[in-house]
Amino acid sequence: MLRKPMPLYCLPLVALLALLLFFVQSTPAGQVLDEQFGPDGSKVELVKAKIRNGVLTLAVRYIHPWIEEKQKAKKKRDEDVYLRRIPIKFKIGDVFYVANGKRYHVLKDKEGNWLAAPVAGDFIGGPMGEDALKEKLEKNMVPALQIDQSHPIQVLWFKFPAPPEGVDEIEFQIPEVSPFDVEIKR
C-alpha cells in the first residue's frame, strides 16, 4: 500500500517545530540564566545573554503554565489551564535594559528593521503573510503570538548595543514581565 506524501502546506509547520525542539533542547534546564513570572501565569526564562562584536543578544523563552502542572502532578490536567491561550504582544520600543542608570533599546539595521524576532512591524507579534501583515500594520492591528496547548513555548530574541566596559550586571525589561537580573561576562 502506497502512502500519500505530506501536503506542502504542512512543511512550514514541521520546520518550525523542528527548529523549536532544537532550540529548546540546545538550552538545557541548567542553562536558564534567570526566570520571572509572565502574563497569565506563564513563566519567562532568560536563556541567552551573549556579547559579540559590540552587540548584546538576549533571548527569552515563554512557557505555558500547563507544562509545569503536567510535570508536577500525574492527575488529570486542569482543562481551564490547558486550554488557556496567553497572548504575547508588545512594542519592541518598550524593550530595554538598564546599565549605570541609562536605558539601552533594541537595535535596528541599516534599513530600519528591528534586530529582534519574531517581529511584525514595530511589535513582537504573530506570524502572517506579507500582504495580510501590511494591511494589519496600516490599521495597527498586529496579531499576538500565542502560547497555548499547540504552541506551549515561544522563543524571542533581541539585539542591543553592548553595555559599557566595566558593567558586570544589567536589568533587562520586557512588558508584562518582572525585570531580569543579567550577569554580563566578557
Count of structural domains within the chain? 1
* Residue 172 in domain: yes
CA angle in degrees (0–180, nearest 5) for 82-83-87: 105
C-alpha span between 104 and 185 (Å, rounded): 18
Q: Which domain holds residue 113?
A: 32-117+146-183
* Residue 90 in domain: yes
Q: In this structure, what CATH number is given to the domain that contains residue 55?
A: 2.60.40
Matching residue, cell 519574531: 118
User: Taking a C-beta distance cutoff of 8 angstroms, is the pair 82, 73 a contact?
Assistant: no
The more confidently predicted of residues 62 and 121 is: 62
* Residue 139 in domain: no
Q: Which whole-number Å values give the CA distances from 56 to 1, 77, 105, 121, in the listed order? A: 54, 39, 11, 22
pLDDT in tens, 5-25: 545 554 444 444 444 444 444
* Residue 24 in domain: no
H or E element that contains 37? strand 34-37
pTM for the model: 0.73
Which range, of 18-27, 143-152, 177-186, averages the lowest pLDDT? 18-27
